[in-house]
Amino acid sequence: MSAIIEAYGLTKTFGEVRALDNLEFVAQSGRVTALLGPNGAGKTTFINAVATLLAPDSGELRVAGIDARTHPKQVRRIIGLAGQSASVEPAMTGRENLELVARLFGLDRRGAKLAAGDVLERLGLTEAQDRLVRTYSGGMRRRLDLGASLVGQPRLLLLDEPTTGLDPRSRMELWEAIRSLVADGTDVLLTTQYLEEADQLARDVVIIDHGHVIAAGTPDELKGKAGRDVIEVRPRTRAELPAIAELLQVVAAEPTRTDTDTKRVSAPVDGGAASLAIVVRMLDERGITVDDIGLRRPTLDEVFLTLTGQSIGSDSPADAA
Amino acid sequence: MTTTTSTTTTTSADTTGSATHDDGPSVAHHTLDHSNGASFLTTTIGTARRTILQFFRTPQLLVMGTVQGALFLFMFRYVFGGAISTGGAISYVDFLVPGFLVTTVLWTGMSAAAGVAEDATTGVYDRLRSLPIPRSAVMLGRALADTTLVSWGLLITGALGFALGFRTHASFGSIVMAIALMIICGFACTWVFIFLGLVSGSAQAAQGMSMLVIPFSFVSSANVPIQSMPGWMQPFAANQPITVMINATRSLMQGGTEAVGIDHSTGYWVALSLIWCAGIVAVFGTLCVSRFSRTK
């Protein structure tokens, strides 16, 4: 297993703001790595450093083993970048856009035509290929932009918040497109503030905040860091909440929590499914009817909350990068 | 090893160990042979084509530019024209149109600044800078595209001028030289607007900054003879580059400096214009390329 991106002690300041603060992490080749963090965490700054658009103040950054600070031109030959906004030209057709980028990557006219046709097909844009991008929907533009970043067949794809601002359906379509790429063996680094997106797409997730890594691992490993699995019970009537709380004490590893608003009692447990079975049996014995009962793992949002004491959705005031 | 964690020292150490022996270039061999990037020429043509298509396929840009020029020309010709004496032997419309053509170069440039700012802020330039292409070629492509659009503007405005009664009084060769000179001036001025677009930060700011077109356009010999301006204004008006370019163009089109009521010879004004153009390209071309190529 080889590393596609290695960052050691990476620091970058913009005036007073430390956008990258001793950032350290290694992304392995052959998989999707997600950089997860709130606004202003330094995600875009890091992507831009890898894309050789900006130079870190200090630290080491290697892309496929190439020192990005001393040999940026060589790095540019193996990367494809899709930034936060779709940067395709609205007054050109989808095909024209892709052919232009392919030509700039160094393909000849014929090669560019073939590569563009291939990418259009993979992204389901063949039918729209001869229409001006101006007439595309937001989701189609983002897909075309993704296509522009991969039409040169780069080794490493850099996607900066690829689905920000998309409706749920377009988001799913873009996820599908990204998944099919990975099946081809392209390495992907993507940034996102959506936990679900990291969960859906990435094999490895790196959580960053204030320019440094606060946790890294597979989504499952990270969820483990947020603490225990939780059993949640929603009774038919509110009157039964105290009885259920009392009953859950038996299996709970920490104090139970009762939320009268949503009519829910939750209890962190160590026993997982076995604890759930016990609870179900006890409810049955006492004849308590429930609307819903379940065992759930913590979400990545809870991971973030546990690690930083703030929710990932809340805007950081130092939103500089 | 399944995690990419950097929190454990072992991970970092492992990977550093394997990577430190590879010094940059030696490991770049996985690269596909086509990814050496486009040549200077391919990049220039490709990016220029994009800007030109953008203009001709965006009706708002195409129509607005033309209508604006037509309105101004119409107003000067008919509203102010009667009150202005040319100071030379030629009629006002023959005096006005050459000057108006040169200032068209400036007005067209304003939209170039906005376009560049737009590309800089919407990620287009980020993508281009992430590609294995010569960055200076992107700037040259932009300048050539804008020069093409300026030439288009000159064609439209010139045709309009003819319709409003403008006639030349010079040889065919002289007219061709005047047109060539205007295009060269357009190319030079374009670099100023590209620079404004690059430093402005947003399309609106770029539009605001390019308001500096107004003093250069109006405090010049474009619409009225310099002698009719107040004394304190004359030194700037007479010596600023747009006036020099207008004097050269007007003399070329209307049969010499005497006919248009200015000093020196036509050759003097043409040479001075070319020197200005060379200076502007040298300064702003360098500024644009270094600004676009710099790594923040």
CA dihedral A103, A109, A113, A116 (to 10 degrees): -10
pLDDT, position B63: 83
CB contact under 8 A, B123 and A85: yes
**Mean pLDDT along residues B275-289:** 97
B286-296: burial string, b at 16+ Cβ within 10 Å, e else = ebbbeebeeee
Report the SS3 class of residue B252.
Answer: helix
Helix axes B59-75, B40-56, angle to 10 degrees: 70
Q: Which residue has the tokens 């409706």?
A: A167
> Nearest CB to A153: which of B24, B32, B57?
B32
Rounded CA-CA distance A271/A286 in Å is: 22
User: Does residue B219 carry a pLDDT above 70?
Assistant: yes
ipTM: 0.82
CB contact under 8 A, A153 and B131: no
Beta bridge partners of B132: none
Secondary structure element (H or E) that encloses residue B156, with its range: helix B135-163
Q: Which residue has the tokens 């499952």?
A: A220
Report the SS3 class of residue B126.
Answer: helix
CB contact under 8 A, B30 and A155: yes
Nearest to A160 by CA among B202, B203, B123, B295: B123
CB contact under 8 A, A66 and B122: no
| Band of pLDDT at residue A122, cut at 50, 70 and 90 | confident
CB contact under 8 A, B5 and A216: yes
Task: Read off the pLDDT of residues A83-106 as tens digits, 9 standing for 90 and up.
Answer: 888 899 999 999 999 999 999 999
Set of chain B residues whose Cβ sits within 8 Å of the Cβ of A53:
126, 129-130, 295-296
Q: Tally C-beta pairs within 8 A across A and B.
A: 173
> Nearest CB to B34: which of A106, A216, A221?
A106
Rounded CA-CA distance A116/B144 in Å is: 26
Whole-number CA gyration radius for chain A: 24
**Mean pLDDT along residues B249-256:** 93
Task: Read off the pLDDT of residues B160-169 as tens digits, 9 standing for 90 and up.
Answer: 999 999 999 9
Rounded CA-CA distance A232/A256 in Å is: 10
A204-209 and A212-217 strand pairing? antiparallel
User: For chain B, how many residues are written?
Assistant: 296
Rounded CA-CA distance A112/A104 in Å is: 9
Backbone angles phi, psi at A280, to 5 degrees: -60, -45
Rounded CA-CA distance B253/B158 in Å is: 12
DSSP class of residue A314?
Answer: S
Beta bridge partners of A234: A292
Task: Read off the pLDDT of residues B163-217 as tens digits, 9 standing for 90 and up.
Answer: 999 999 999 999 999 999 999 999 999 999 999 999 998 989 998 888 888 899 9
Residue A71, min C-alpha distance to chain B (Å): 7
- Stronger pLDDT, A10 or A289, i.e. the higher one: A10
**Mean pLDDT along residues B237-258:** 93
Q: How many CA atoms, within 13 angstroms, populate the side-chain half-sphere of residue A7?
A: 27
Beta bridge partners of A82: A159
Residue B40, min C-alpha distance to chain A (Å): 10
CB contact under 8 A, A132 and B131: no
Residue A312, min C-alpha distance to chain B (Å): 20
> Nearest CB to B130: which of A51, A62, A206?
A51
CA dihedral B81, B83, B85, B91 (to 10 degrees): 30
- Stronger pLDDT, A249 or B243, i.e. the higher one: B243
Contacts of A36 (CB under 8 A, 6+ apart): A191, A192, A193, A195, A198, A205, A206, A207, A208, A300, A304, A312
List the A204-209 sheet strands across, edge first.
Answer: A79-82, A156-160, A187-192, A32-36, A204-209, A212-217
Structure tokens at B22: 């590879």
User: Which of A87, A110, A144 should one mutate to test binding to chain B, selecting the residue with the greatest count of B CBs within 10 A?
Assistant: A87
Beta bridge partners of A79: A156
- Stronger pLDDT, B270 or B65, i.e. the higher one: B270
Task: Read off the pLDDT of residues A229-238 as tens digits, 9 standing for 90 and up.
Answer: 888 888 888 8
Per-residue CA distances from B4 to A46, A162, B8 (Å): 16, 22, 10
pLDDT, position B52: 95
Residue B11, min C-alpha distance to chain A (Å): 8
Task: Read off the pLDDT of residues B268-279 as tens digits, 9 standing for 90 and up.
Answer: 999 999 999 999
Residue of B nearest to A67 (CA): B24
> Nearest CB to A77: which of B4, B122, B132?
B132
Rounded CA-CA distance A34/A304 in Å is: 14
| Band of pLDDT at residue B31, cut at 50, 70 and 90 | very low
CB contact under 8 A, A77 and B36: yes
> Nearest CB to B34: which of A26, A74, A111?
A111
> Nearest CB to B126: which of A87, A104, A216?
A87
CB contact under 8 A, B43 and A104: yes
**Mean pLDDT along residues A270-288:** 84
User: For chain A, how many residues are written?
Assistant: 321
- Stronger pLDDT, A154 or B66, i.e. the higher one: A154
> Nearest CB to B31: which of A25, A77, A204?
A77
Backbone angles phi, psi at B259, to 5 degrees: -60, -30
Residue of A nearest to B115 (CA): A89
Residue A286, min C-alpha distance to chain B (Å): 45
Nearest to A50 by CA among A89, A85, A23: A23
pLDDT, position B35: 63
A58-63 and A156-160 strand pairing? unpaired
Set of chain A residues whose Cβ sits within 8 Å of the Cβ of B18:
3
